[in-house]
Structure 1
């Protein structure tokens, strides 16, 4: 004969069967634990409902404009002061300076820019406090073809501080530069060539010679490299 304890347990389970059947057949509960894929569908669906409203796009960060009007060290002004600190390839916009409204170089320069490469600088980017002026320089006792653009680091935009500044150096301890021969070999420096021509720092004949030499060196390099 069943003990009173067993009878009481049977009665308790029997009384809970309707409740268990309700749980098992409820549409919100499949009667077994959901699989991983089912759980993903449930969570994804809830996220989609929450994300129905479009999220505003973050505005793209625009690069700060850097403008130069001359590379002639005798004509530099505070407006030519640029900061390249911690940048790899800063872009410089070339601004027309001629007061003659009919000067064709004004319209040309208005559409030109130059990308300045931190070639020869450690880690491939300009170091902190690289602020100053780009200027054209021909080393003493050197031919015109040895001309180059350098960067003069100064303590302030005041051009009077040029004498207090110093040229940016590469990791090898020599002045950072963009040689004239390199400028004529790269399309990205066309604007710098135009600026040099307008300021009278170079002549068309000199640029032609530099271009010819650059092409010859490139051709020779290909021949030697293919030999």
Structure 2
């Protein structure tokens, strides 16, 4: 039987702050520009990386780094007693259930700042593009480093803006005009007293997030203000019971059903199953399946769950309206 994944292992990564000592007995991974098959050279020193750019179009060979097997990576120039921010990659071993903090093998490539054309105002993140060699031209042929959930590993803009030790990275992003002062200020005002888990912070519809079928749904939604979307009964069949166990990923999406023409109606689609679904009691609900809309009984039949975001005056409706307003709906 598959071992249940904790939320921490589903999220797959974590961030920390630490004081850099005068010297740390570990290794630094760097790269030299060479012809042929290039392999990053490993030099003694602290685990630190200072990219020359986070703009994919301006990368140079020395920005190439090998994270394979590394437990963590620090960003920014070294400074005695300076609080710096690092990132690490975690995944749970199915055989033992132990969480291992180590970047996967073949994690060689470039850090860069990612922002989709359709991104919401405060959406963006630093990601890691896995490439076959240190040539910047290999960037477009590469792929983003993925979490065990198959979602991209990233440091989201709110984490960069609010996390102690990311100041130098934010300054770098500002210098390259990849972010604005207004974006950073809004993130800091919005998330100043909020713990940030990037996969449970939503900016728009169609963004995947983790779900556990035996628990309520709790998300943060970024609009003009920060909304808390807490949904107690989305996976329940009555006031108390959750008929299913298991976990996966889901997304909110706009309805295309002609029945709802002229109305803003949202469905919930299960996109992935991570831990197998089990039925714990008799229920009228259909078992969650990857690729299918969540269904609910109503008026004597089972139909896709649908939420009219303009027809209700609830905290859930307010949060879903913020997601809709941030999305480019045809």
Fold shared by both chains (TM-score > 0.5): yes
Alignment of 1:195 onto 2:172: yes
| Higher relative strand content | 2
Unaligned runs of 5+ in 2: 1-22, 29-47, 93-99, 196-219, 221-227, 229-330
Shift of 1:61: 3.3
Compare CA radii of gyration and give the structure with the larger one: 1
Q: Greater relative contact order: 1 or 2 (C-alpha under 8 angstroms, separation 6 or more)?
A: 1
Q: Counterpart of 1:54?
A: none
Q: Counterpart of 2:192?
A: 215
Shift of 1:184: 1.6
Q: 2:133 aligns with which of 156, 161, 165?
A: 156
- TM-score of the aligned structures, taking structure 1 as reference length: 0.58
Counterparts of 2:186 and 2:145 in 1: how far apart (Å)? Answer: 28
Counterparts of 1:180 and 1:112 in 2: how far apart (Å)? Answer: 22
Q: 1:80 aligns with which of 63, 70, 74?
A: 63
Count of residues in correspondence between the two structures: 148
Unaligned runs of 5+ in 1: 1-58, 96-108
Counterparts of 1:112 and 1:208 in 2: how far apart (Å)? Answer: 23
Q: Counterpart of 2:159?
A: 182
Cα deviation 1:138-165 (Å, max 9, x = unaligned)? 1231113111000000001100111111
Cα deviation 1:150-185 (Å, max 9, x = unaligned)? 000000110011111110000111000000001122
1:1-227 equivalent positions in 2, closer than 5 A? 61-64=25-28, 65-94=48-77, 115-119=85-89, 121-122=91-92, 123-215=100-192, 217-218=194-195
Counterparts of 2:123 and 2:170 in 1: how far apart (Å)? Answer: 14
Q: Counterpart of 2:300?
A: none
Cα deviation 1:12-40 (Å, max 9, x = unaligned)? xxxxxxxxxxxxxxxxxxxxxxxxxxxxx
Counterparts of 1:149 and 1:161 in 2: how far apart (Å)? Answer: 18
How has the CA–CA distance of structure 1 residues 60 and 191 changed in structure 2, closer, same or farther, with 3 Å as cutoff? closer
* SS in structure 2 at match of 1:133: strand
* SS in structure 1 at match of 2:109: strand
Counterparts of 1:71 and 1:164 in 2: how far apart (Å)? Answer: 17
* SS in structure 2 at match of 1:192: helix
Cα deviation 1:171-227 (Å, max 9, x = unaligned)? 111000000001122112112111101111011111100111111535xx9xx9xxx
Counterparts of 1:181 and 1:74 in 2: how far apart (Å)? Answer: 24
Counterparts of 1:113 and 1:216 in 2: how far apart (Å)? Answer: 19
* SS in structure 2 at match of 1:211: helix
